[in-house]
Amino acid sequence: MKHVIQFSGGKDSTAMLLMMLEQGMTVDEIIFCDTGMEFPQMYAHIDKVEKYTGRKITRIKAEKSFEYYFSEHIKNKGKNVGSVGYGWPRMWVRWCTRLLKQEPTKRYLRDMGVGNYVQYIGIAADEPKRHEGISKNTIHPLFDWGITEDQALRYCYKRGFDWSGLYERFRRVSCWCCPLQRIGELRNLRRYYPDLWEKLLKMDNNIEYKFRPDYSVEQLENRFTSEDLLSAQIKDKK
């Protein structure tokens, strides 16, 4: 039986991997599904984890890129057959997770000929909804050990992993372009990662259905600019 770590690179999967190795648990394969839209700091973190553990992390990519599915793919089944691109993911249509993570993982394991395996996923103890409906060959060690998200992050910090400050600015550190981020996190993306924000603006301007149901990226840009001007005026009056 193969013991496979599903490694996202975030605090929970990092803590899970390190704890498993520290406890001498069997780890046969470590898989990272690269969406191509991760923060540059995340890629640096993964390299650091490899060096720290002395273990290879296998990078897996879908056959097509995020940009392709986002704005070029021609739908050939389901609703809106013939329309171009899936557009921005929504809470109810998270095509990115399915096409860029779940399906590449299944294909990789199948091509490896791994028919009998256990998959370890970093679900924390304070994420009970994500733990529900767990499949028979999946284990959530952090949940079983009672490790919360905050504990997992502090555990990683103590071992020198800080993601170059990503967790100080974002609650989740997956794809930088995710429209499910909170307004404050999007404000931080604009403030601290202006190159990524400019790319987000261009992407949103090139499709019909905008970034969020309540805001396009351009509208967010105008909002944040106005807020910055107001903040500067208040500061000048003090």
Q: Which tokens in the block code for residue 169?
A: 């600015």
Average pLDDT, integer, range 170-188: 96
CA 95/CA 169 separation, integer angstroms: 25
Q: If you average pLDDT over residues 159-170, what whole number do you get?
A: 98
- The beta strand positions in 129-202, using DSSP E, are 138-139
Domain that residue 222 falls in: 181-238
Q: What is the mean pLDDT of residues 45-59?
A: 98
pTM: 0.91
* Last residue within a domain, chosen from 171, 189, 205: 171
Shared domain for 107 and 224, answered yes or no, is no
- What is the structure's pLDDT at 129? 85
In a domain, residue 176? The reply is no
Query: What order of strands is seen across the sheet that includes strand 138-139?
Result: 58-60, 29-33, 2-6, 117-121, 138-139
Are the C-beta atoms of residues 186 and 222 closer than 8 Å to each other?
A: no
DSSP annotation of 32 reads E
pLDDT for 234: 76
29 forms bridges with which residues in the sheet? Answer: 4
Under DSSP, the state recorded for 148 is -
